[in-house]
Amino acid sequence: MTPSVNGIKPGTVTFEVQNAGTQKHEMVLVRATSADQLPRKPDGSIDEDKIPTADKIGETGELDPQTTKKVTFTMGAGTYIMFCNIVTAPPSPVSHFHQGMHMQFTLNA
């Protein structure tokens, strides 16, 4: 993940999400004080079902390699975590989140 979130203010925010990789990815956006606070599954992915509904901002859905998608969300001031929650296929399932595909940013009023 190489996001550019500098200077973003609360309100309507559009993200242009590009998967420049060779495998599927996604962008999930939640309100949280830190990535460490997010509930985990045994494979290291985030258990999105355990995140309070009010903190779930939205997501892109799966993006195929070399594709781009724009998504728009209404976001208030606060701290957010953006992450990929894809899990690689067995025999060695590993979550992209666990591999470090996440970042925290704050929108200030």
CATH number of the domain to which 103 belongs: 2.60.40.420
Domain extent at residue 86:
11-107
Distance CA 28, CA 25 (A): 10
Asked, for residue 6, whether it belongs to a domain, the answer is no
pLDDT value for 39: 97
pLDDT value for 5: 65
Supply the DSSP string of 69-108, one letter for each residue: EEEEEEE-SEEEEEE---BPPTTS--BTTTTT-EEEEEE-
Asked, for residue 4, whether it belongs to a domain, the answer is no
pLDDT value for 6: 66
Whole-model pTM over 0.85: yes
What is the total count of domains within the chain?
1
Distance CA 60, CA 43 (A): 21
Asked, for residue 2, whether it belongs to a domain, the answer is no
pLDDT value for 92: 77
- For the chain (109 residues), the mean pLDDT of every run of 10, in chain order, is 72 93 95 96 94 97 96 96 91 88 92
